[in-house]
Amino acid sequence: MLIRRQELSSHLGWIVLLVAGTVTIAGVYCAYGMGRPRLPGGSSPPGMVFGILGSAIMLFEFFLWPRKKVRTWRIGSAKLWMRAHIWLGFLTVPLIVFHSGFSMGGQLSSVLMVLFGIVIASGLFGLFLQQILPRLMLEHVPAETIYSQIDHVSRQNYWDAEDLVAATSGMVIDASHTLQARPVAEARTSDYIVVGAQRTEGNVRGKVLQTQVPTSTSVPSEALNVLNDSFLGTVGHFLLHGRRCREGAELKSPLAAAAYFDNLRLMLPQSAHETVETLKSLCEQRRQFDLQCRMHGWLHGWLLVHVPLSAALIGLMFVHILVALKYW
């Protein structure tokens, strides 16, 4: 959340600048346009000034992008740049609107106005998403990991689960009993199993390591197939591919997954229930990863519109300046 209601006071300077700027722009515009037959446009003195100011601000707004690429340069903190980006971005709206004289103008200026509108709208949409999604992610994805590492963590979880199932059922892990080949370094060499699982305890939320001692001797042989089949047929696929896989479709919803694992538990002896519980927990983690992917897509997807269109807007803005100067 970038702007909190409780912390508006820290944005007070920017708000004052925005309001005062807007009032001043409107005042100057009205004073100049009073008594004139037409609304002043971009070629009028105030329109010209508004255009220059608006262009300068838009250029500054655009520089946030290269600024982020030179993170170690001490040219104002990113926080300051972002605040300026948001509030000065708002200020460009009255500047450009008054600059245009409430008219779309010719083809070029019409395209510019449309682009400007989309850039402003996409920026507002992004701001809105960044206001709400981090909190939603905090609430609904306690097992969150680094986005780029989701596939890796999922594979690791799969191998952990595979080890656990093998230890419980006596399954031999070879090419026919794995859905994902593991590198040599990842091969299990110890006598105990470490399973990454989600834990929520009080205010502590996140992933912790749990250890599980193999219980292979305690499961009757007829039950082995049930657990193995379930893992290789459904759970394993879901752990690896999440909502994208067809084989684990019944695990996509928490309710359906709960029913699936309840059913599995009924078919297995007591000694295997802990393993089922861990598998259930890993599937829950995978569902959260899927949710994280979706949220991450929303959180950053709007930039795919905002950034290229901003670049186009800046390019066309310069064309507009050249054309205006030529025919002025």
- HSE, side-chain direction, 13 A CA sphere, residue 80: 5
Least distance CB 144 / other proteins (angstroms): 8
Residue with Cβ nearer other proteins (155 or 252): 155
| CB environment 186-196: b (16+ within 10 A), e (fewer) | eebeeeebebb
Query: What is the number of helices (H) and of strands (E) in the chain?
Result: 11, 2
Residue with Cβ nearer other proteins (30 or 208): 208
Least distance CB 277 / other proteins (angstroms): 21
283 near 238, Cβ under 8 Å? yes
Residue with Cβ nearer other proteins (144 or 160): 144
Contacts of 50 (CB under 8 A, 6+ apart): 25, 29, 42, 95, 96, 98, 99
Query: How far is residue 254's CA from residue 288's CA, in Å, rounded to a whole number?
Result: 10
Tokens of 111: 């395209």
Residue with Cβ nearer other proteins (66 or 202): 202
Least distance CB 34 / other proteins (angstroms): 42
Least distance CB 90 / other proteins (angstroms): 17
Residue with Cβ nearer other proteins (245 or 303): 303
Least distance CB 33 / other proteins (angstroms): 39
Residue with Cβ nearer other proteins (50 or 289): 289
SS3 for 144?
coil
17 near 86, Cβ under 8 Å? no
DSSP 234: I
| Residue linked to tokens 């001043």 | 24
Sequence letter at residue 95 = L
CA distances to 9, 221, 268, 280, 292 from 234, rounded to whole Å, are: 53, 20, 16, 12, 22
Least distance CB 222 / other proteins (angstroms): 36
Sequence letter at residue 171 = M
The residue ranges that bind other proteins (CB under 8 A) are 1-2, 68, 71-72, 74, 77-79, 81-82, 130, 133-135, 137-139, 142, 145-147, 184, 189, 201-206, 208, 296, 299-300
Residue with Cβ nearer other proteins (193 or 317): 193
Least distance CB 245 / other proteins (angstroms): 25
Query: How far is residue 117's CA from residue 115's CA, in Å, rounded to a whole number?
Result: 5
Residue with Cβ nearer other proteins (269 or 301): 301
Least distance CB 12 / other proteins (angstroms): 15
**Burial environment of residue 79 by CB neighbours within 10 A (0 to 12, 13 to 18, 19 or more):** exposed
Helical H runs in 3-77?
12-33, 45-62, 64-69
